[in-house]
Amino acid sequence: MSAPRPRTVLYLHSSAGRYGADRQLTTIVDGLDRAAFRPLVVLAEDGPLVDDLRDAGADVLVRPLAVLRREVLSPTGLVGLGRALGADVRALGRVVADHDVRLVHTNTSVTLGGAAVARRAGIPHVWHVREDYAGFARGWPALRRLLLTADALPCVSEAVRAQFDGTRRSSRATVIHDGLGDVGPAVARDEARRSLGLADDAFVVAVLGRISPWKGQRLLVEALGDPALRDAPDVVALVAGEAWRRAPGPPAELRRRAAELGVADRVLLPGFVEPVGRVYGAADVVVVPSTDPDPLPNAALEAARAGCCVVAADHGGLPEILDGGRLGVLVPPRDPAALAGALAALRRDPERRIALGAAAGEATPRRFSAARMAARIDALYRTVLDH
């Protein structure tokens, strides 16, 4: 008797870069049991993620998708979003039929077409929630009702899962922490600093991720101008990342604010850095100063795994990553003075800094392993398919 054929899983994803959710999709695909599941991915745009997914063994299609972004939250934008959603239903319906898709996995909660496509095809829908909607109070009740139509809602942190408390179908929301994927080789401190133009004796504070107001890069610049760090010329901010679609505005604003505070020569913006191990190798501290609750930022996970000392805002999924402050330093959100004070203390106390990094480097790979996530995703697929 021949073994059953692998069941095709259709993944829908809103971007094609190499940031957190992008890399997590590659990690999910790479960890699939290929005897049971075959990955087929539709991306909303072209980009480096296409090759990453193909290298991981997935078939990849690129076509526009209906994605809920801030720029569509206007009457005109919502009309366009509705049209995109209708196009999704038609085009993705053909993909489901042509490839005998048995399950749809939407990899971000802002990608909208999977719900209708799965419902029309009569197949299960898994909707991955990687977002915190604390700042979306007006639209959240309606979006939450839509999300709860899915058969399962894997949430990247307890902070994200708690958004569904008090709803009739809240049991569909379960925590599956992201897994640590491959970010390339570690880079030695001397080599990393030389490649980034950093002095050997600098106290380097790195922040990674898309440059945007809520990611908190400006907060780090403000901290450099705080009295606790203003007269410490060896403290350098390394801002690694680019704005969405490489928009020039956010980086230019950071440079303007740094110049106003007199710290422009201590703020470096190298853009997106690959391999990211160069940033972790060069940094004395990695900060994650998100002004809004960050669901489970990969920058914090990866920095902790790399043995860096992490300083993070005390909200969202960050306390889960740092085990309540036992594996790093938690500071009040949106408080540049508190951030500056924490960094100044770590600058004075290298033994504590090294100890926190070592503890994080030992515990994080175990707590957030890719194998652990893969096993949870596998069990979830089998449950909804056999229900």
Q: Give 283-301 pLDDT, tens digit per residue.
A: 999 999 999 999 999 999 9
106 lies in the same domain as 231: no
pLDDT for res 137: 79
Residue 72 pLDDT > 70, yes or no? no
139 φ/ψ sector (left φ>0, alpha ψ -120 to 50, else beta): alpha
161 lies in the same domain as 308: no
pLDDT for res 41: 98
In a domain? residue 66: yes
As a whole number, mean pLDDT of residues 204-231 equals: 95
| Beta-bridge partners for 237 | 205, 267
75 falls in which pLDDT band (50, 70, 90)? low
In a domain? residue 200: yes
Domains contained in the chain, number: 2
325 lies in the same domain as 273: yes
344 lies in the same domain as 223: yes
Amino acid at 203: F
List Cβ neighbours of 315 (8 Å cut-off, separation of 6 or more).
159, 290, 293, 294, 333
Q: What is the CATH number of the domain that holds 40?
A: 3.40.50.2000
List Cβ neighbours of 242 (8 Å cut-off, separation of 6 or more).
210, 211, 251, 271, 272
In a domain? residue 261: yes
pLDDT for res 73: 59
In this predicted model, what pLDDT tens digit does every residue of 184-213 receive, in sequence order? 788 999 999 999 999 999 999 999 988 999
266 lies in the same domain as 381: no
In a domain? residue 184: no
In a domain? residue 2: no
213 lies in the same domain as 355: yes
| Contact yes or no for 273/325 (Cβ under 8 A) | no
310 lies in the same domain as 164: no
pLDDT for res 190: 97
156 lies in the same domain as 272: no
46 lies in the same domain as 65: yes
Q: State how far the Cα of 254 lies from the Cα of 260, in Å rounded to an integer.
A: 10
pLDDT for res 11: 98
Mean pLDDT of the chain: 94
List Cβ neighbours of 2 (8 Å cut-off, separation of 6 or more).
none
In this predicted model, what pLDDT tens digit does every residue of 141-152 receive, in sequence order? 999 999 999 999
* The pair of three-digit structure tokens given for residue 368, joined into one six-digit string: 């957030």
332 lies in the same domain as 379: no
| Contact yes or no for 371/177 (Cβ under 8 A) | no
233 lies in the same domain as 152: no
| pTM score, whole prediction | 0.89
In a domain? residue 26: yes
183 falls in which pLDDT band (50, 70, 90)? confident
In a domain? residue 59: yes
175 lies in the same domain as 195: no
Nearest CA to 163 out of 192, 187, 133 is that of: 133
In this predicted model, what pLDDT tens digit does every residue of 106-123 receive, in sequence order? 999 999 999 999 999 999
Structural domain span for residue 200: 189-367
In a domain? residue 1: no
